[in-house]
Structure 1
């Protein structure tokens, strides 16, 4: 493929309509990239994934006990995990995945600022508080979805944040209103 035809897609690390931070691309910034950037438009997605060994969570819990639980998990998360290490590991993995989707790692975001709760259906959902909420708002994330799977040895999780530009949201709202009007006719 000719270098002029290649596209480099940009990660979601900024608000819609804001310039891409030059530091993201290393010491040479955007100028040092091998291809031109393809600006994201309309709907953008931020994804994070994590996998953790259940034994690692068990070992930390055995060493630090309640102190570990209170530092990392909210009271509701502890209750909903029902003392099962695989469930705690799943929540831990979700929190790591959320941080990856937010583009922060664990810097500047507290463990308890991300709360993984199960809805009545059993489906996991997430509530963001504090700096995690501020970061999601800064990125313009309109929705967050998470999923996790627990096995005897591993827990895996994925987090997906959705950023819809105001223009795209308006277009989608217009389509929805048009579709609703067609249904009523």
Structure 2
């Protein structure tokens, strides 16, 4: 496939069906992130991602647990934009620097429960959902539920969509996220 440049849409230049979603993101964040502006090339893809991520935000996983899933997906997919954005989210939530550094490096987490979540997320990704009985049991023994297991699948799906779209479009890092820049293997 030849490389093509995806447009960095403004709300006015985007397809009309994407404009309401873009406006909502801009109102919520105070700026229009480049990944959203580029994903707007397909209003359906943008709307699907925003709906899936909003649904994931309503799961019974805590905010830090959700960010653990997201950063596990983002580092595995090597999405520099997602890692930066979700590092900023964990920073706003006052997560420890140690947790953030471990997630960004793809290293085992000091917190045993979050490490079980990280390992389960990797197992879901690595097995395309065919997680072994022993990996499922380890997740449950750590204090998670079968509901949580399906919520991890939801998070993996939502954030695989965004990481793949960001990599496909070549979404740049926004200036607002430069302090959280990340590169694979860094």
Q: Classify the TM-score, shorter chain.
A: under 0.3
The structure that has the greater radius of gyration is 1
Structure with the bigger RCO (C-alpha within 8 Å, sep 6+) is 2
Quick check: which one's helix share is greater? Answer: 2
Q: Return the TM-score normalized by structure 2.
A: 0.26
Q: Return the TM-score normalized by structure 1.
A: 0.26
Quick check: which one's strand share is greater? Answer: 1
